[in-house]
């Protein structure tokens, strides 16, 4: 799965700069495989301020070709406290896929808003504008995420989402179906700066001929610093 830009806060965190380094078995974004199954190196650096502003960048590269980056993401966000248990966040993201062949069509800028309940439940909506595919209206998506703590550092994670195709399929059924559904269910273990996550991913998206298949299971090992 894609590395989340916003690193989780810890009680010991005093610096406005944080980072994360991760090794994943595949890079998947909203039910779309960015890389074939295989080791993917990911890194992210984030800056946060007491006023609620944050910014970050992340990069991903296939481990077998470390100089061939497959994804860059930049984000600017602002968070508000709505109540004791509720937060709201608005974010602007820019996605680039420099080594994704024809997948560079999916380079996009995305504006989103999300609501967070106790860092347990998150609901977000977003609209994306493709940078390389002109003449198209923004494409929408909605995501619901759950992170439920268990004992001994374990927690359950799950998500479900629906998105319009960034580039709608042509031919038969084009007008009938230009959206798809996706989700995951997984188990996460946290120990200080270390995190291990195993997830089962599902998606009913029709894969393009030039895109890799999604592995049903993905795993990620990451360390925050």
What are the angstrom distances between the C-alpha of 151 and each of 23, 148, 165? 25, 10, 39
Q: Helices H, strands E: what count in the chain?
A: 0, 14
Q: Number of C-alpha atoms within 13 angstroms, CB side, residue 204?
A: 10
Q: Which domain holds residue 71?
A: 17-224
Residues found in the chain = 225
Do 40 and 24 contact (CB within 8 A), yes or no?
A: yes
Which residues lie across from 123 on neighbouring strands? 115, 144
Residue 7 confidence (pLDDT): 43
Strand partners, 93: 75, 110
Residue-wise pLDDT tens for the chain (225 aa)? 666 555 444 344 568 999 999 999 999 999 988 888 999 999 999 999 999 999 999 999 988 765 678 899 999 999 999 999 999 999 999 999 886 555 567 889 999 999 999 999 999 999 999 887 655 788 999 999 999 999 999 999 999 999 998 876 555 444 556 889 999 999 999 999 999 999 999 999 887 777 788 999 999 999 999
Number of domains in the chain: 1
Looking at residue 112, its pLDDT comes to 97
Residue-level pLDDT at 185: 98
Half-sphere exposure of residue 96: CA atoms within 13 angstroms, side-chain side: 10
Query: Is 136 within a domain?
Result: yes
pLDDT value of residue 194: 97
Please report the pLDDT score of residue 11 as a whole number: 40
| 60 in any annotated domain | yes
Residue 146: phi and psi, rounded to 5, are -130, 135
Q: So what's the pLDDT on residue 220? A: 96
pLDDT of residue 168: 63
Task: Kindly state whether residue 10 falls inside one of the protein's structural domains.
Answer: no
Q: What is the pLDDT of residue 84?
A: 94
Asked if 165 contacts 182 with a C-beta cutoff of 8 angstroms, the reply is no
Residue 2, domain member (yes or no): no
Domain-located, residue 167: yes
CATH of the domain at 145: 2.40.160.40
7, part of any domain: no
Structural domain includes residue 185: yes
Q: What is the pLDDT of residue 8?
A: 42
| Four-point Cα dihedral 78, 79, 80, 85, nearest 10 | 170
Handedness of CA 140, 129, 89, 17 (dihedral sign): positive
Residue 188 lies in a domain: yes
């Amino acid at each position: 799965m894609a590395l989340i830009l916003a690193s989780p806060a810890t009680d010991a965190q005093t610096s406005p700069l944080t980072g994360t380094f991760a090794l994943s078995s595949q890079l998947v974004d909203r039910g779309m495989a960015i890389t074939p199954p295989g080791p993917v190196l990911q890194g992210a650096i984030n800056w946060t301020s007491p006023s609620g502003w944050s910014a970050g960048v992340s990069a991903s590269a296939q481990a077998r070709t470390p100089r061939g980056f497959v994804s860059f993401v930049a984000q600017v966000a602002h968070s508000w406290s709505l109540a004791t248990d509720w937060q709201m966040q608005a974010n602007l993201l820019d996605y680039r896929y420099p080594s994704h062949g024809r997948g560079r069509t999916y380079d996009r800028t995305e504006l989103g808003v999300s609501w967070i309940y106790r860092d347990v439940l998150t609901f977000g909506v977003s609209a994306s504008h493709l940078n390389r595919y002109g003449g198209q209206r923004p494409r929408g998506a909605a995501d619901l995420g759950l992170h439920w703590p268990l004992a001994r550092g374990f927690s359950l994670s799950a998500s479900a989402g629906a998105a319009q195709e960034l580039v709608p399929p042509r031919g038969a059924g084009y007008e009938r179906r230009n959206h798809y559904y996706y989700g995951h269910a997984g188990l996460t273990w946290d120990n200080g700066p270390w995190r291990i996550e195993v997830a089962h991913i599902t998606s009913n998206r029709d894969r393009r001929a030039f895109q890799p298949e999604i592995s049903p299971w993905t795993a990620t090992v990451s360390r925050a610093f």
